[in-house]
Chains A and B, each alone.
Chain A
Amino acid sequence: MSAELTDDMIVCRCEEVTVGEIKEAIREGARDIVGVKRRTRAGMGLCQGRTCEKLVQQLLVQELGISPKEAGTSSARPPVRPVTFGELAKGEVL
């Protein structure tokens, strides 16, 4: 929001990605949520971006002067929630 952002502030808690790392990814060419995710792993952890996606969106909007819509949204792939290999191995095959 409004408070000053220091580069060491954590944005994605699951993957421990900081404001500085996300700004760096944007400097390297990330233009949307997916671009930041691919470069930094922000949104790839346990919560799958439920907490940080909006914060990453705000950084993109602020750094690039784009709209929240242009910042896009991440894609989802199965499994969308954490599941153990043991459970997967025991389960039925699709």
Chain B
Amino acid sequence: MLEKDVLVIGAGPAGLAASIEAGKYGASVLLVDLNMQPGGQLFKQIHKFFGSSAHRSGTRGYDIGKQLLKEAEESDVEIWMQSTVIGIFPGNKIAIEKGLDSGEKEMVTMQAKKIIIATGASENAIRFKGWTTPGVMGAGAAQTMINVNHVKPGQKIVMLGTGNVGLIVSYQLMQAGCDVVSLIEAAPKIGGYAVHAAKIRRAGVPIRLQHTIIEAKKGADGCVCGCVIAQVDEHFQPIPGTEETIACDTIALAAGLKPTMDLVKLAGCKLTFNGPFGGYIPLHNERMETSCEGVFVAGDTTGVEEANTALEEGKIAGISAAEDLGLLTADAASDKRAEIWDRLHSLRLGPFGERRMIEKEVVMDEYKERIGTPSPIQ
């Protein structure tokens, strides 16, 4: 059976950072991801990141992805793409459907001393009449189409949601040559950063606050030909008589994300419910270890945040795995983690970040109370 010191699942910013870190201290690392290319969402991010220079502000996500791939190569990380973990079993045995160069798949069973789960998050769906009509899609899906596959999802787009994803993807759709007709937001104010919203406003695209989509209209071809929006009251209920129809061929939904939890559940990690982080998430300690001994988590899987925080959490997971493998002394590991936690604190400042800092502490306190010491996968 194939054996590795560390198996990292998910090659986004968290998984790449974890792999690089563990590899750097001499661990043999296998990184698997079900997508065609590594990098997770990074290669879709053609805009410049915010934050401090320690967090590569002013750098495009795309370039951060390229840098991480180079570092992964330098750390001798083995990467399997189009490969999916389908099972995690006692004794840290893992079943992987491995993608071969021929395009075929092969079942591989392997054993890893440490497992790092960094499977990210998936987009929330919103239901309204006709939400399953072709042409209704997640904003992230639309972003993949334009920035990765270079295909326009449609010509006339309506975006639901004005968080940063809704704003950024709307602007990038315009850059790709789509006509963004309108942004619809149920709340009385724009959810994302003003700098992103200003770009939309300057382009003359209306942002309709206190409105929601109540229906996707289906055309003769069976696809979206428009949407019906309505004003909402303070309880977010549509107000009868305020309906308007907007012609469009695509409705993009930017309604937030939820952590991808299948493998965390499969390993038997103890969970907690956390609204701000997107729902049920794995309990973890400051070493990013779950209730299962030798199973670590990082990035959006631990609660939806951003690429920068995912990167830092990935590093912590990689360092902790290396420490438990005896590749790093406890003192050295704890110093390195302390430095990263300092950076995470500075990232989690401000109106958006601070709440997440508090919630992180809630999660780690609950870990102390309920778990204390992790136990092997059952």
Q: Give min CB distance, A52 to chain B, whole Å.
A: 7
Question: Are B271 and A50 in touch, CB under 8 angstroms?
Answer: no
A52 to B132 alpha-carbon distance, docked (Å): 11
Question: Are A92 and B84 in touch, CB under 8 angstroms?
Answer: no
Q: Write out the residue numbers on chain A whose beta carbons fall within 8 Å of the beta carbon of B258.
A: 54
Question: Are B132 and A13 in touch, CB under 8 angstroms?
Answer: yes
Which of B86, B129, B132, B261 contacts A83, CB < 8 Å? B86
Question: Are B237 and A92 in touch, CB under 8 angstroms?
Answer: no
Question: Are B213 and A3 in touch, CB under 8 angstroms?
Answer: yes
Which of B105, B212, B275, B279 contacts A87, CB < 8 Å? B105
A4 to B127 alpha-carbon distance, docked (Å): 10
Q: Write out the residue numbers on chain A whose beta carbons fall within 8 Å of the beta carbon of B237.
A: 2
Q: Give min CB distance, A5 to chain B, whole Å.
A: 7
Within B148-192, which residues are at the interface with A (CB < 8 Å)? Answer: 186
Q: Give min CB distance, A1 to chain B, whole Å.
A: 5
Question: Are A78 and B87 in touch, CB under 8 angstroms?
Answer: yes
For chain B, which range describes its interface: under 10, 10 to 19, 20 to 34, or 35 or more residues?
35 or more
A48 to B213 alpha-carbon distance, docked (Å): 26
Q: Give min CB distance, A44 to chain B, whole Å.
A: 13
A14 to B108 alpha-carbon distance, docked (Å): 28
Within A1-31, which residues are at the interface with B (CB < 8 Å)? Answer: 1-6, 9-11, 13
Q: Write out the residue numbers on chain B whose beta carbons fall within 8 Å of the beta carbon of A94.
A: 87, 89, 93, 95, 109
Question: Are A76 and B261 in touch, CB under 8 angstroms?
Answer: yes
Q: Write out the residue numbers on chain A whose beta carbons fall within 8 Å of the beta carbon of B212.
A: 1-3
**Number of A positions contacting B (CB below 8 A):** 36
A62 to B5 alpha-carbon distance, docked (Å): 47
Q: Write out the residue numbers on chain A whose beta carbons fall within 8 Å of the beta carbon of B95.
A: 78-79, 91, 94
B34 at the interface (CB under 8 A from A): yes
Contact with B along A63-87 (1 / 0, CB 8 A): 0000011000101111111011001
Question: Are B107 and A92 in touch, CB under 8 angstroms?
Answer: yes
A80 to B66 alpha-carbon distance, docked (Å): 30
B35 at the interface (CB under 8 A from A): no
Q: Give min CB distance, B124 to chain A, whole Å.
A: 6
A92 to B111 alpha-carbon distance, docked (Å): 12
B193 at the interface (CB under 8 A from A): no
A6 to B214 alpha-carbon distance, docked (Å): 12
Q: Which residue of A lies closest to B2 (CB)?
A: A92
Q: Write out the residue numbers on chain A whose beta carbons fall within 8 Å of the beta carbon of B128.
A: 1, 3
Q: Write out the residue numbers on chain A whose beta carbons fall within 8 Å of the beta carbon of B215.
A: 3
Question: Are A50 and B122 in touch, CB under 8 angstroms?
Answer: yes
Given the contacts A73-B279, A83-B86, A91-B106, A2 and B127 also touching, CB distance less than 8 Å: no
Q: Which residue of A lies closest to B87 (CB)?
A: A78
Q: Write out the residue numbers on chain A whose beta carbons fall within 8 Å of the beta carbon of B232.
A: 2
Which of B88, B89, B273 contacts A69, CB < 8 Å? B273
A54 to B279 alpha-carbon distance, docked (Å): 9
Which of B108, B124, B263, B275 contacts A68, CB < 8 Å? B275
A87 to B109 alpha-carbon distance, docked (Å): 12
Within B95-110, which residues are at the interface with A (CB < 8 Å)? Answer: 95, 97, 105-109
B125 at the interface (CB under 8 A from A): yes
Q: Give min CB distance, A82 to chain B, whole Å.
A: 9
Which of B108, B125, B127, B236 contacts A9, CB < 8 Å? B127
B260 at the interface (CB under 8 A from A): yes
Measured CB to CB, the residues of B under 8 A from A are: 1, 34, 84-89, 93, 95, 97, 105-109, 122, 124-129, 131-132, 186, 212-215, 230, 232, 236-238, 255, 258, 260-263, 265-266, 271, 273, 275, 279-280
What would 26 A/B residue contacts be, using CB atoms closer than 8 Å?
A1-B128, A2-B186, A2-B212, A2-B237, A2-B238, A3-B129, A3-B214, A4-B129, A9-B127, A9-B129, A10-B132, A50-B122, A51-B125, A52-B125, A68-B279, A73-B271, A75-B265, A76-B261, A76-B265, A78-B89, A78-B95, A79-B86, A80-B86, A81-B84, A91-B109, A94-B93
Measured CB to CB, the residues of A under 8 A from B are: 1-6, 9-11, 13, 48, 50-52, 54-55, 58, 68-69, 73, 75-81, 83-84, 87-88, 90-94
The 8 closest A-B pairs by CB, nearest first: A91-B107, A78-B87, A79-B86, A69-B273, A76-B265, A3-B214, A80-B262, A3-B128
